[in-house]
Amino acid sequence: MGQMVSDDKFEEEAARNGGIIKNGREILFQAFNWESNKQNWWSKLEDKATDLAESGFTSAWLPPPTQSLSREGYLPQNLYCLDSCYGSLSELKSLLHKMHEHNLRAMADVVINHRIGTTQGSNGMYNRYDGIPISWDEHAVTSCSGGKGNKSTGDNFDGVPNIDHTQTFVRKDIIEWLIWLRRSVGFQDFRFDFTKGYAAKFVKEYIEESKPLFAVGEYWDSCEYSPPDYRLNYNQDNHRQRIINWIDSTGGLCAAFDFTTKGILQEAVKGELWRLRDPEGKPPGVMGWWPSRSVTFIENHDTGSTQGHWPFPSDHIMEGYAYILTHPGIPAVFYDHFYDQGSSLHDEIAKLMQIRKCQDIHSRSSVKILEAKSDLYSAIIDEKLCMKIGDGSWCPSEPEWRLAASGDRYAVWHK
């Protein structure tokens, strides 16, 4: 599927089947980092729920809530046990209740590509699930990862049993569990982990059956770099097309993290802001082709935090937020930037969020790019808001534009 601009048929389906909130005025908060499991996290977040709601966030993505062999939650075993390193079930329920009171939706991190077994199967691998709820046998595990199921419909996640989503009994159990998370536990949104591991049509089915209010998938693919120095290529159309194809295969019911925008933006802010205009004059990420399904972000628990697999330059963070919080797409703010790097960063991000809300900038807002050169990027969004980032000096020429926010290498105006 090529560039997506018209959303109408997808909107109707999404409204019927859950998955995408229709008004496009979402701002997401990633409410953890890689070290959060070392604190009493659910209680800590409960103390921040009021501030998050007042700042304008609509949904908070929480870390995986299930019992897991890894402290961070990404090696789940007993899906119905919600006592984890982040806190107890009662502490989680208390957090979700507080969030609900503040009209802040809770997003569950859904890790269903793989699952750690409790007992050894016939080949000596731990790929049976005896003695816990959803007590699958080896037929629930793909043949590529040591099970007796079918071949995987995606990439293999090495070293652990990968779930075979082609099995009807597996999908039935996963759907029941997702419905339980929605109705009994109190999660409203879903984030699907490692979606390269299984076909997008299964995500579509899970969303249709469990009806989250909003869903986003992690389809993390490598951007294209050229030897010998492995600089990022200017054209990342193949990269964003793969993400768009994935979204399309979910029936448009699931948004996706805009890794294309992240990859381009973190190079652009280092004095290569020309990267932020594609050959058609549009934003160069998923945001430029299918903005209502693009969840823009500059950092997460994998790319940044203590893992630092693909970090955004730390001295350009506010330029990053000045870009994603003024542009179309669905912006997401990372915990570390909002709470762990001083009150001024918190307040600058919150100010940009307030401007976005007051000017009614949304996921489908139009962008007119005015400048995109090494040291300067400027754009007008919806004819209501004007912004610049970079070392270059620039301001709008018309007198009706008033400065609304400014900081290190960024400024935003509105009428």
Query: Helix, strand or coil for residue 404?
Result: strand
DSSP state of 81: -
Encoded tokens for 177 = 């569990």
Q: Which of 297, 306, 258, 240 is nearest to 71 (CA)?
A: 306
User: Is residue 373 domain-resident?
Assistant: no
Compute the Cα dihedral for 45, 48, 52, 53 and give only its sign: positive
Confidence bin at 232 (pLDDT 50/70/90): very high
User: Is residue 395 domain-resident?
Assistant: no
| Domain total of the chain | 1
Q: Which pLDDT belongs to residue 23?
A: 85
- CB atoms closer than 10 angstroms to residue 186: 17
Contact present, 247 and 209 (Cβ < 8 Å)? no
Lowest mean pLDDT among 1-10, 119-128, 195-204, 375-384: 1-10
Output the pTM of the full model. 0.96
Q: Tell me the CA distances in angstroms from 289 to 101, 214, 248, 272, one per residue in order.
A: 36, 20, 12, 21
Confidence bin at 19 (pLDDT 50/70/90): confident
User: Is residue 411 domain-resident?
Assistant: no
User: Is residue 412 domain-resident?
Assistant: no
As a whole number, mean pLDDT of residues 4-26 equals 68
Give 55-74 pLDDT, tens digit per residue.
Answer: 999 999 999 999 999 999 99
Contact present, 177 and 80 (Cβ < 8 Å)? yes
156/357 Cα distance (integer angstroms): 41
Query: Helix, strand or coil for residue 354?
Result: helix
Place of tokens 């930037």: 337
* Burial category of 222 from C-beta neighbours within 10 Å (exposed 0-12, middle 13-18, buried 19 and up): exposed
User: Is residue 14 domain-resident?
Assistant: yes
Give 74-115 pLDDT, tens digit per residue.
Answer: 999 999 999 999 999 999 999 999 999 999 999 999 999 999
DSSP state of 348: H
Calculate ∠ Cα 26-97-349, nearest 5°.
Answer: 35
User: Is residue 262 domain-resident?
Assistant: yes
Give 37-53 pLDDT, tens digit per residue.
Answer: 999 999 999 999 999 99
9/243 Cα distance (integer angstroms): 19
Counting residues of the chain whose pLDDT is more than 70, the rounded percentage is 96
User: Is residue 399 domain-resident?
Assistant: no
Residue by residue, DSSP assigns 247-270 as: HHHTTT-SEEE-HHHHHHHHHHTT
| pLDDT of residue 13 exceeding 90 | no
Q: What is the CATH number of the domain that holds 192?
A: 3.20.20.80
Contact present, 289 and 244 (Cβ < 8 Å)? yes
Give 304-363 pLDDT, tens digit per residue.
Answer: 999 999 999 999 999 999 999 999 999 999 999 999 999 999 999 999 999 999 999 999
Catalytic residue list: 193, 218
Entry field: residues in the chain:
415
The boundaries of the domain holding residue 122 are 4-365
Lowest mean pLDDT among 4-13, 205-214, 314-323: 4-13
Give 266-294 pLDDT, tens digit per residue.
Answer: 999 999 999 999 999 999 999 999 999 99
Confidence bin at 10 (pLDDT 50/70/90): low
Q: Which pLDDT belongs to residue 310?
A: 97
282/263 Cα distance (integer angstroms): 16
Q: Which pLDDT belongs to residue 5?
A: 45
307/325 Cα distance (integer angstroms): 25
349/332 Cα distance (integer angstroms): 11
Q: Which of 131, 123, 156, 125 is nearest to 142 (CA)?
A: 156
User: Is residue 18 domain-resident?
Assistant: yes
38/312 Cα distance (integer angstroms): 24
Q: Which pLDDT belongs to residue 9?
A: 58
